């Protein structure tokens, strides 16, 4: 296909459309992980009322998904007056035997980041609202760094934010977050306007490999593409490499045409440790979920070779 780098699109894309849930308007930016001997996920389902909801789903092969028709149920510290299971752009990170979900929602007048945990994808416990307005996306690292939980996040504003940079924060207990460090910001070209973290960082001997979205502003609006970076293992706010070329940009019809045109928005990655293949799940045109795959070694090489 045109404009491909090391990532090749799945020939049967999109893998999930609004047909997967009754009354869905779109199903897009969603989080999936390995779970037992199969896969589980939390999906962003925007309803036909144009309300953003989270739904749980399961799959045997990570391609064919059964997504529950009802919203995800949360117990725990769910803010009063917020319909349970509302929100968007979830990420899932496994730490030990627990899966943590971070997502954006509105317990206040502005976008904030919620945190919930589950062990079985049946019972979800909300732990807290971990980042106050205005913040639109956050993803946890899969282990403690220097004795603390860690995440990447992206401060925002209340609208279609015309800026956005990636920050690092830590917590002793998953509830109280601070020690913010700037990681990297917008530069030029496909990432000239804003950047935001995507799937859970992957630990390698070279550092934490991250995939992120970058936004270009055209006379016709924003264009969202995917890039990659490698962050220092012990001090992840130190950027070792970062792609100057994109890894994947809206090119196919399902990426260029949809509810919001020209969007490739990566939110999950599954690395097969036997084959070293990485599968990236991304929202396309704010309409559907797509898959692109690569040899992970080639991704690391690409990031190093095409770095600023
Ligand atoms: C961002 C988020 C994403 C969306 C993207 C493109 O600000 O709202 O959910 O995919 O815009 O519309």
Distance CA 85, CA 66 (A): 18
Distance 89 CA to ligand 1 centre (A): 8
Helix, coil or strand: residue 305: helix
Closest CA to 131 of 106, 159, 165, 100: 106
The answer, yes or no, to whether any atom of ligand 1 lies below 6 A from the CB of 99, is no
The pair of structure tokens assigned to 160 is 């279609």
Closest CA to 132 of 105, 151, 152: 105
Nearest Cα to Cα of residue 236 among 180, 198, 280, 300: 180
Any idea what DSSP says for residue 143?
S
Ligand 1 near 286 CB (within 6 A): yes
Q: What is the pLDDT of residue 260?
A: 98
| Ligand 1 pocket mutation, candidates 27, 28, 89, 220, criterion most atoms within 8 A of CB | 89
Q: What is the pLDDT of residue 25?
A: 98
- What is the C-alpha separation between 65 and 70, in angstroms, rounded? 15
| Alpha carbon distances (Å) from 27 to 33, 106, 282, 290 | 17, 19, 11, 10
- Name the pairing type of β-strands 74-76 and 124-131: parallel
Residue 161 pLDDT > 90: yes
Q: Return the residue whose CA atom lies nearest to atom 4 of ligand 1.
A: 286
Count, in order, helices (H) and strands (E) of the chain.
2, 22
22: which 2 tokens? Answer: 């009754």
Collapsing DSSP to helix, strand or coil, 255 comes out as helix
Q: Rounded to an integer, what distance in angstroms lies between the CA atom of residue 107 and that of residue 255?
A: 31
Residue-level pLDDT at 91: 98
**Could you give the 3-state DSSP secondary structure of residue 296?**
helix
Cα 302 to the center of its chain, rounded Å: 21
Q: With b meaning 16 or more CB within 10 Å and e meaning fewer, what string describes 117-143?
A: bbeebeebebbbbbbebbbbbbbbbbe
Regarding the beta carbon of 282 and ligand 1, being less than 6 Å apart is answered no
Reduced to 3 states (helix: H, G, I; strand: E, B; else coil), residue 16 is strand
Q: What is the pLDDT of residues 188-243, one digit of tens each?
A: 999 999 999 999 999 999 999 999 999 999 999 999 999 999 999 999 999 999 99
- Take residue 177 and report the two structure tokens written for it: 């977050």
The kind and range of the H/E element at 30 are strand 24-35
Per-residue pLDDT tens digits for 57-80? 999 999 999 999 999 999 999 988
List the domain boundaries for the chain.
8-305
> Domain 8-305: which topology?
Tachylectin-2; Chain A (2.115.10)
The rounded Å distance from CA 269 to ligand 1 centre is: 18
> Whose C-alpha lies nearest to ligand 1, atom 1?
160
Q: How far apart are CA 201 and CA 181, in angstroms?
A: 17
Dihedral of the CA atoms 99, 111, 284, 4 (nearest 10)? -80
Tokens of 154: 């992206």
**265 alpha carbon – ligand 1 mean position (Å):** 8
Provide the mean pLDDT of the chain: 97
Structure confidence by residue, pLDDT tens digits, 70-127: 999 999 999 887 777 899 999 999 999 999 999 999 988 899 999 999 999 999 999 9
Band of the pLDDT at 283, cuts 50, 70, 90?
A: very high
Give the CA radius of gyration of the chain: 18
- The sign of the torsion formed by the CA atoms of 287, 292, 296, 300 equals negative
Provide the pLDDT for residue 154. Answer: 98
**Nearest 5°: CA angle at 198, between 208 and 221?**
135
């Amino acid at each position: 296909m045109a404009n491909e780098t090391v990532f090749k699109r799945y020939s049967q894309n999109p893998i999930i459309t609004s047909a997967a849930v009754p009354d869905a308007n779109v199903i897009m930016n969603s989080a999936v992980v390995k779970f037992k001997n199969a896969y589980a996920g939390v999906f962003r389902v925007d309803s036909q009322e144009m309300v953003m909801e989270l739904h749980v789903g399961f799959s045997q092969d990570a391609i064919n998904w059964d997504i529950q028709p009802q919203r995800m149920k949360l117990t725990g510290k769910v803010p009063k007056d917020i319909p349970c299971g509302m929100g968007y752009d979830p990420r899932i990170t496994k730490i030990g035997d627990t899966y943590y979900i971070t997502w954006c929602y509105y317990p206040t007048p502005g976008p904030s980041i919620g945190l919930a945990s589950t062990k079985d994808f049946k019972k979800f416990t909300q732990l807290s609202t971990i980042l106050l307005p205005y913040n639109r996306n956050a993803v946890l690292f899969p282990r403690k760094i220097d004795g603390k939980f860690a995440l990447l996040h992206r401060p925002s504003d209340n609208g279609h934010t015309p800026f956005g940079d990636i920050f690092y924060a830590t917590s002793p207990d998953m509830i109280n977050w601070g020690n913010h460090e700037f990681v990297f910001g917008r530069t030029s070209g496909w990432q000239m306007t804003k950047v935001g973290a995507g799937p859970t960082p992957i630990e390698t001997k070279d550092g934490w490999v991250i995939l992120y979205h970058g936004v270009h502003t055209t006379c016709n609006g924003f264009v969202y593409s995917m890039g990659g970076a490698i962050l220092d293992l012990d001090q992840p706010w130190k950027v070792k490499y970062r792609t100057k070329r994109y890894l994947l940009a809206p090119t196919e019809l399902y990426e260029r045409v949809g509810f919001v045109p020209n969007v490739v928005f990566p939110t999950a990655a599954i690395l097969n440790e036997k084959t070293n293949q990485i599968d990236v799940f991304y929202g396309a045109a704010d309409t559907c979920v797509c898959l692109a795959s690569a040899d992970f070694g080639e991704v690391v090489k690409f990031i190093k070779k095409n770095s600023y």
